[in-house]
Amino acid sequence: MRLTVVANPGSRRAVLFAAAAARAGLPEPEIVAWHDVAAGAALRLTPHSLVRLESPGEDPEVDRLLRGAAVPLEHGELAGGRSWYAGFRRAVERVADAAREQGAYLWGDPAEVAVMFDKAACHARLSAAGIPVPPALPESPVDWADLRTRLTDAGWRRVFVKPRHGSSAAGVIALEFGPAGRLSATTSVEPAGGKLFNSLRVRRHRDEQTVAAIVDRLAPDGLHVERWFPKAGLGGRVIDLRVVVIGGEPSHVVVRGSTSPMTNLHLGGVRGDLAEVRAAAGPEYAAALDTCRRVADAFPGSPHVGVDLMLGSGWRSHAVAEVNAFGDLLPNLLVDGRDTYDAELASLAASRWVTA
């Protein structure tokens, strides 16, 4: 079997997947650089090879090309999410077209990847399938004033405001309205010099003018607003789970705990004890994993999905926060001696995830 990976050469994802291929006794994967795909270069794929898409993130020049911009963003700058998504979809379609024309096979469905990168579309798909998700506003607010009006009409005082096409909690705001008009916005967003930046430090803004300016700058690229789902806590931290479902079955699970509403590990979250969570959750844990299987069923053309799963405070409910197309980067997490990439290669026998 010949493997081709569309990735940023030298990235952690490309290196870890190549190591898994070597352990499986497979030839070293060929790399097609995201830069070449995004730049519109002619793509050369080996006939009958299996083509895997990896994340195009963490490369500022690839980001610039996908956005169709003249210059790269500054480090950490938040802008152009809608343009990036349009460019990403075009780039993925270029890979799909090249595979069809050159007799290669795609490991997964590009259309499903596009849905997972659109939080509103993903939420709608999960909701239609009866999968528990937090209630969401039906439309993206156009600015802060519109958001405040919509939340007042809905009677919601605690929400998560998410960039529609964002990832890694970039631009996410945990917004709370208190008595006497007081508000609190917990976020990694840092305004500076008339721009927005994603910081590694989660902060709390209480000045409405600052919060309004942040929302007004994010809104043109699309926002997805969900009612706050109160999450379970352990050891003084709120927790959620990243569940990687491979071949339709939950495979690798990471507990993420934080003293802030954002549990992402790069924002100060810490890995928790899964056995402790299972003991605290009791039968709700098994029910939550069943939901993860149903999430995979909602994306039948995807060989693996990363499910961000929230267990409710009191451990009697759960809901899906997001589904990640590239949510399988979990370094040093082994299950039965396998990392996520080992498990994904082992699942290739279920060839329904391979499409021409």
Cα–Cα distance measured from residue 32 to residue 36, given in angstroms and rounded to the nearest whole number: 7
pLDDT band of residue 211 (cuts 50, 70, 90) is very high
Task: Report the DSSP pairing between strands 50-53 and 3-7.
Answer: parallel
205 has pLDDT over 60: yes
pTM of the predicted model over 0.85: yes
Give the tens place of pLDDT for each residue, 108-145: 999 999 999 999 999 999 999 999 999 999 999 999 99
CATH (residue range 230-354): 3.30.470.20
Determine the pLDDT at residue 348.
85
Q: Beta strands 195-205 and 183-192: pairing type? A: antiparallel
Structure tokens at 34: 């995201």
Region 310-324: mean pLDDT is: 97
Read off the pLDDT of each residue in 198-222 and give the average, rounded to a whole number. 95
**Pairing status of strand 3-7 against strand 30-33:** parallel
Split at pLDDT 50, 70, 90, the class of 351 is low
pLDDT higher than 90, residue 266: no
- Every domain of the chain and the residues it spans: 3-107, 144-227, 230-354
**What share of the chain in percent tops pLDDT 70?**
98
What's the rounded mean pLDDT across residues 33-53? 96
Apex 250 CA angle, 338 and 172, nearest 5: 105
